[in-house]
Amino acid sequence: MKLLATMLLITGITVAGQTPALAVKAAPDIPVASVQAHLAEFQRIATANGGNRAHGRPGYQASLNYVKSKLDAAGYQTRIQQFTSSGATGYNLIADWPGGDANNVIMAGGHLDSVSRGPGINDNGSGSAGLLEVALTVARQNVKPQKHLRFGWWGAEELGLVGSTFYVNSLSSAQRGLIKGYVNFDMTGSPNPGYFVYSASGQPTGSKAIEDLLEAGFAGKSVQTELTSVGGRSDHAAFARAGIPVGGTFSGAEVRKTAAQAQKWGGQSGVAFDRCYHQACDTTSNINATSLDRHTDVIAYALYSLIGA
């Protein structure tokens, strides 16, 4: 009885009397307050460092230190990768969760830099904070995945996908071949939000399996989605060019919400999904908490499924 209770605890399955065949962990519901706490820290960092977290500026370095220290304390193997862009040193943060099949790697990532005009809390504090909280949840639950899980926080995306491209170029073709999927999260808390999934057909190696999985994650929360063709506008493009299957979610940027979209998702039609896109007003006030919560839960859902948690 004691052994059975322990087993049920470990597997997270609570149905009494049923012995699970596999130790499958249900995808966690990430508390949005935990994600918002990371955003508050990014905002504090920007405010203390000239109002931004941009490549080559002290606010970027402070953001990197914040994310890295959280991951280190949680048991991740972290690594900072340096590169040079526009005469300044840039940094990627790579974090590996120990364990899983090293020949089957699943990656999730987003860019950590802001533009120099503002603090970049939606673009892309939102994706960065969501990825961080999902990573910390994996650690807290001591997930033992089948596949190997790796996260990336990219530098200098706003200068043209510089950090993610540098990372992909640093891999041998054999190493690239081990990465079975890359999921990108860039802008997830837009104030007039949409629930977009990257269209697999909009990428050289867009993954229909990842597209379906992300759609299923939203459907499980009764949120309708639309496919969007994000092309080369974020870091997934660096992975797609290297032949790695990619996907992602997005809550919208400068494009205006249509009447049909406002009908479906609420919010204001004829207004940009993010009116503060690349502006000084991209602060913690520029975040829709419901969007941040839903997109982050879908990040967790997709990753737990992809790694075989």
The set of catalytic residues is 157
Write the interaction track for ligand DPN spanning residues 138-157; mark x where CB under 6 A is met and - where it is not: -------------------x
Q: Which two tokens stand for residue 153?
A: 């926080």
Q: What's the chain look like in SS3?
A: CHHHHHHHHHHCCCCCCCCCCCCCCCCCCCCHHHHHHHHHHHHHHHHHCCCCCECCCHHHHHHHHHHHHHHHHHCCEEEEEEEEECCEEEEEEEEEECCCEEEEEEEEEEECCECCCCCCHHHHHHHHHHHHHHHHHHHHCCCCCCEEEEEEEECCHHHCCHHHHHHHHHCCHHHHHHEEEEEEECCCCCCCCCCEEECHHHCCCECHHHHHHHHHHHHCCCCCCEEECCCCCCCHHHHHHCCCCEEEEECCCCCECCHHHHHHHCCCCCCECCCCCCCCCCCHHHCCHHHHHHHHHHHHHHHHHHHCC
64 binds, among Ca ion, ligand DPN, Zn ion, none (CB under 5 to 8 A by kind): none
230 binds, among Zn ion, Ca ion, ligand DPN, none (CB under 5 to 8 A by kind): ligand DPN
**Binds Zn ion (CB under 5 A): choice among 123, 282, 293, 297:** 123
**Binds Ca ion (CB under 5 A): choice among 25, 27, 30, 225:** 30
30 binds, among Ca ion, Zn ion, ligand DPN, none (CB under 5 to 8 A by kind): Ca ion
Task: Based on the shown chain and the rule CB under 6 A, indicate whether residue 123 belongs to the binding site for ligand DPN.
Answer: yes
Instruction: For the CB of residue 76, give the shortest distance to Zn ion in the complex, in Å.
Output: 26
Task: Based on the shown chain and the rule CB under 6 A, indicate whether residue 162 belongs to the binding site for ligand DPN.
Answer: no
Q: Of 26-34, 171-179, 207-215, 230-238, which segment contacts ligand DPN by CB under 6 A?
A: 230-238
Instruction: For the CB of residue 248, give the shortest distance to ligand DPN in the complex, in Å.
Output: 7
Q: For residues 79 and 221, which CB has a smaller minimum distance to Ca ion in the complex?
A: 221
Q: For residues 50 and 160, which CB has a smaller minimum distance to ligand DPN in the complex?
A: 160
Instruction: For the CB of residue 200, give the shortest distance to Zn ion in the complex, in Å.
Output: 23
Instruction: For the CB of residue 191, give the shortest distance to Ca ion in the complex, in Å.
Output: 18
Q: Which residues in this chain contact ligand DPN in the complex, by CB under 6 A?
A: 123, 157, 186-187, 230, 233-234, 250, 253
